[in-house]
A = this chain, B = another copy of it.
């Protein structure tokens, strides 16, 4: 009898998913601190690196020190006898031939062998071992004797397709057929232009440089494998591990409850995770494998370097007439993406466009998705190009951009559910004091030149199924949220708990989030593509609404009035209209009898024929010291349309974090390979690879938002914000440098050396 109730209660959960937007939210939109803030800052959060399991061994990996070599001989005998060593895996084992699957967004590529005797990058895995302590493991590694045949190496994309260069794979050095896009008539477009500009831009290879390096802890219980690994993609890693080890998917459990930064480099199965699993299986003991900082620089992904040739034309009224964008990117030693040109075709309302992306292999660690992948590199070129055009016709860069804001997506013609790019530019410019700052250049005698720059951005996000979340309410008014989403540090846990609090009218402190564990959650999409809030907020809201509906039905039965006349407030049942006595949940006998109410939610499908995208404009002010070449970013202002801002604190963290990365992109970050001699990376550490620190980040940082009240995108009204914050920062800085000095720096990062060289070249040219 009761069962029928419970089941029939679930029947109308479809309705729960057609939810009206919140009209007057009391929790969502508030600047609330992280629900896991204490754990994260106090050190009590247990990241995979903190995990200690009984009898756990520690593993280490022997890596090829050369960018290109053949392993002729490997002798592990001495290492095997070294104190504490329990197991070794290498290409001599059948497991050594295991092939690591590419993530789903890389449809094909040459096979990635676990231990390939043909080593294609510095740091490629040659063998691994597990010992009682990490020290014993590293000591034993040194006893491994490897005979390498060094091969000549290829380090630059520009050389990859030239004859006589080393070939990385049987299929050659071309990753895939170049991807070309075209609309309109390019020649006609250039013909219609009043001004033409042509320029080549280059970006450097950047490292994700997450505070937490890659770590995996693996444990077998019989044929059941559990892996603790910081990842954005628990279900993808589960599937990849199961496929590689030929296990049922349900026999692999992936747990990722704390992630110490990811930015895209923790979204696919890594070799170290598989190695930990293999060593644990060999030894029947848990194995921890934590990469050193150096290893993470060499082997854990990067933003691929691009060489981008652009030609563009515009009329004097500021309208773009044509754009040609050709990109060459180096993915590293195995297949990935290094595209940039295609992105530009979706930015501005330009009728005639041709883009081409070509990707090649080089002898260096493989690229991985990196916050705003492709888009950030693309913007470095395009947003400077726009500035050059504006400069050439003597138009304000903000005005030029406003002129070319598209009404629909320029590539597909589809309308956006909302687009506030125009308002972002206008509101941002006003708050920044743009017009005044554009004219107020420093006097020419001062070696420190001031300038301001702007850049805009968009990011298309995709929500929708399949994803399932469960919200469970207890009779004491506390609740549990169960979802697949990891929290890479972005605040996903906090925001989703806020959605539950909003919907059920209970305090945030009474909501526990259980998440990011394939063993305990239902399938949910990976965190990535800035879609976490789009996928999960509507799903969580639907689940909470499902709980609420069931709860109000119980209350209706006990209070003998229709459920529609009741509501939830401050964790109590209250009448919707006339004043009445609030009823505590604990007084509802049927709730107590049921012990819990569980509600199930999915994200609703995407709106048909509409695109969902976030937009933004960023403004930078810089000081360039023309004597030293030093550049200081003294002011950054972002104005973004990310849909509803779920929590201003986490939203700001995203934007500020993105801008900090943008500063690094623009000014300091760069993988340096020794292309004179060894081909090795010379700055695989945080001393020589410089990410911005507190001293490099301007005190004057501001984040403004425009809420388009987008009811169409999803029931939360929220669009993504993860990636977009970093996309326009670097070109805004480069444009500011140009404004300050009149020098267009096309190559990122703008190091003092480069700046000085360009200043010297100009002096000579005069």
Interface residues of A (CB under 8 A from B): 1-4, 6-8, 10-11, 13-14, 17, 35-39, 42, 44-46, 50-54, 220-224, 235, 242, 248-251, 253, 284, 464-466, 468, 470, 472, 474-480, 482, 509-512, 514, 517, 519-523, 593-596, 598, 600, 602-605
Contacts and interface: CB of A to CB of B under 8 A. Distances in A.
A586 B479 CA distance: 36
Given A8-B14, A36-B221, A54 B50 contact: yes
Nearest to A473: B250
Given A36-B222, A248-B477, 18 more contacts: A2-B465, A3-B464, A4-B605, A7-B14, A10-B13, A10-B600, A37-B222, A46-B53, A46-B54, A52-B53, A250-B478, A250-B479, A250-B511, A250-B512, A514-B520, A520-B521, A522-B596, A523-B595
Contacts of A593: 466
A448 B39 CA distance: 69
Contacts of A517: 520
A474 B250 contact: yes
A250 B480 contact: yes
11 contacts: A3-B605, A7-B13, A10-B10, A10-B600, A38-B222, A44-B220, A46-B53, A250-B480, A250-B511, A250-B512, A523-B596
A600 B10 CA distance: 10
A510 B39 contact: no
Contacts of A42: 284
Contacts of A476: 242, 248-249
B10 A512 contact: no
B512 A224 contact: yes
Contact of A250 (B249, B510, B595): B510
A736 B516 CA distance: 59
Nearest to A479: B250
In the complex, the count of this chain's copies comes to: 2
A361 to B, nearest CB: 30
B50 A52 contact: no
A44 B224 CA distance: 12
Contact of A221 (B44, B222, B249): B44
A54 B479 CA distance: 28
Contacts of A514: 253, 519-520
Contact of A251 (B4, B510, B522): B510
A479 to B, nearest CB: 5
Nearest to A236: B595
Can you list the 3 inter-chain pairs with the closest CB atoms, starting with the nearest? A248-B478, A520-B520, A250-B478
B510 A248 contact: yes
Contacts of A51: 54
A263 to B, nearest CB: 24
Contacts of A14: 3-4, 7-8
A600 B598 CA distance: 11
A36 B251 CA distance: 13
Contacts of A45: 221
A42 B220 CA distance: 12
A242 B224 CA distance: 33
A11, A224, A595 pick with most chain B CB within 10 angstroms: A595
Nearest to A470: B522
A179 to B, nearest CB: 25
Nearest to A594: B466
A6 B512 contact: no
Contacts of A594: 465-466, 523
B39 A221 contact: yes
B465 A512 contact: no
Contacts of A7: 13-14, 17, 602
A119 B514 CA distance: 41
B465 A3 contact: yes
Nearest to A520: B520
Contact of A465 (B6, B38, B235, B523): B6
A156 B183 CA distance: 97
Nearest to A514: B519
A222, A479, A509, A514 pick with most chain B CB within 10 angstroms: A222
Contacts of A52: 52-54
A223 B44 contact: no
A340 to B, nearest CB: 30
Nearest to A223: B509
A62 to B, nearest CB: 28
Contacts of A46: 53-54
A220, A480, A482 pick with most chain B CB within 10 angstroms: A480
Contacts of A35: 222
A472 B470 CA distance: 14
A118 to B, nearest CB: 31
A55 to B, nearest CB: 9
A52 B50 CA distance: 11
B509 A598 contact: no
A721 to B, nearest CB: 24
B44 A284 contact: yes
B522 A253 contact: no
A604 to B, nearest CB: 5
